[in-house]
Amino acid sequence: MKKDIYILGIETSCDETAAAIVKNGREIVANVVASQIESHKRFGGVVPEIASRHHVEQITIVIEEALRRADLTMETIDGIAVTEGPGLVGALLIGVNAAKALAFASQKPLVPVHHIAGHIYANRLVTEFTFPLLALVVSGGHTELVYMKEHGHYEVIGETRDDAAGEAYDKVARTLHMPYPGGPHIDRLAHEGKPTIDLPRAWLEEGSYDFSFSGLKSAVINTVHNAEQRGETIAPEDLAASFQASVVDVLVRKTQRAVAEYGVKQLLVAGGVAANKGLRGALEAAFANTAVELVIPPLSLCTDNAAMIAAAGSIMYEKGVRADLDLNAIPGLEIETYNDDE
Ligand code: KG4
Ligand code: ZN
């Protein structure tokens, strides 16, 4: 019988301090997330220095809590997976240093993980992967279409040229005086309104899988300001619905085209914006009567967590990818870095 593999995952790339233990790459044994959202809310976004300070305070507690909930000791852990990048450098460093200290003290292998690979592998905690597959990654910092021919191999076929989808959500929410992070608020408001306002959709050049959301964001801001200057009021729910319709339309249509061109068997949705009800509904409708299996993780696995890092780390561990104790945080790490053929 094959021995069970337990990977401890650590994630501190942005504003969640998280540790989790995953068994055999697919089974969550413990998943602990300490969110800092309340501390960043009054600034309307993540303040890097505050994020680092919170990570320092929380990291040991969160790791100990994950082991306690799993009822395991470091003895049983086979490897320590940690987010190496991308993210805020000062935030990443807290997780990387904690993982290094733990790897040194317990003499366990250290496995570097790309944050977006983590978001993609959140899906494997739900369903086994069927290759080739396509992942639509929509988070606060990234909007990408990633093609995977096998485990741990990533090909970015399209990405945002300016703002990420989540970033656009957060900025539009701010314009409408909503708290950070704004995505969930806009999502809720959108369902109360109608998409009556004509907003741009950036399709870019023929055949491109890239995205652009800054024009849309500016159009929303201008619409609000122009109305204010004229002393008119725009129903915020209609503006939210119109904005969401534009984002969802572009994401779904580009994804549909890529799914067809690349002949994939599965479509995975990943990142914080995968929690969006409008996007989930539109993707479900678009792929309902197709041979493509649509996978969307539950809300708790869409936003930042360490179970996804442990899940991606399990594959890296199996592939024999290891980091030395000189591992550093890489804020701009590319997802293709650990492809076998790179
Ligand atoms: O993946 P994530 O937790 O962090 C990054 O790695 O960036 O994504 C956070 C982003 C935020 O911009 C947040 O506003 C957005 O995900 N988000 C949503 C929803 N829930 C979270 N955006 C739209 N609709 C939602 N329901
Ligand atoms: Zn993330």
pLDDT tens-place string over residues 51-62: 889 889 999 999
- Give nearest CA residue, ligand 1 atom 23: 183
CB 181 near ligand 1, within 6 Å = yes
CB 273 near ligand 1, within 6 Å = yes
Within 91-221, strands assigned E span 110-114, 133-138, 143-148, 155-159
State yes or no: pLDDT of 41 exceeds 90.
no
Q: Which of 18-22, 128-132, 298-302 has the lowest mean pLDDT?
A: 298-302
- Candidates 102, 90, 100, 99; CA nearest to 46 is 90
State yes or no: pLDDT of 101 exceeds 90.
yes
Q: What is the average pLDDT across 306-320?
A: 98
In this structure, the number of other CB atoms found within 10 A of the CB of residue 50 comes to 15
Query: What percent of the chain has pLDDT above 70?
Result: 100
CB 166 near ligand 1, within 6 Å = yes
Quote the pLDDT of residue 342. 61
CA distance 335 to 338: 7
Q: What is the average pLDDT across 136-145?
A: 95
Quote the pLDDT of residue 90. 94
- Give nearest CA residue, ligand 1 atom 16: 272
Which of 143, 176, 273, 296 is the pocket-test mutation for ligand 1 (most atoms within 8 Å of CB)? 273
CA distance 197 to 151: 43
CA distance 317 to 5: 9
CB 141 near ligand 1, within 6 Å = yes
- Give nearest CA residue, ligand 1 atom 14: 183
State yes or no: pLDDT of 285 exceeds 90.
yes
- Give nearest CA residue, ligand 1 atom 22: 183
Q: What size, in residues, is the chain?
A: 342
CB 304 near ligand 1, within 6 Å = yes
C-alpha 107 – ligand 1 centre gap (Å): 36
State yes or no: pLDDT of 16 exceeds 70.
yes
C-alpha 137 – ligand 2 centre gap (Å): 9
The amino acid at 85: G
Q: Which residues have CB under 8 Å from 327's CB, separation 6+?
A: 82, 84, 96, 99, 100, 110, 112
The confidence band for 1, taking pLDDT boundaries of 50, 70 and 90, is: confident
Query: What percent of the chain has pLDDT above 90?
Result: 89
- Give nearest CA residue, ligand 1 atom 4: 140
Mean pLDDT of the chain: 95
CA distance 142 to 14: 13
C-alpha 140 – ligand 1 centre gap (Å): 5
Q: How many CA atoms within 13 Å lie on the side-chain side of 234?
A: 25
State yes or no: pLDDT of 200 exceeds 90.
yes
Q: What is the average pLDDT across 254-260?
A: 97
State yes or no: pLDDT of 198 exceeds 90.
yes
Helix (H, G, I), strand (E, B) or coil at 79: strand
CB 11 near ligand 1, within 6 Å = no
Distance of CA 116 to the CA centre of its chain: 6
Quote the pLDDT of residue 212. 97
In this structure, the number of other CB atoms found within 10 A of the CB of residue 2 comes to 5
Q: What is the average pLDDT across 190-211?
A: 95
Quote the pLDDT of residue 216. 96
Ligand nearest the Cα atom of residue 306: 2
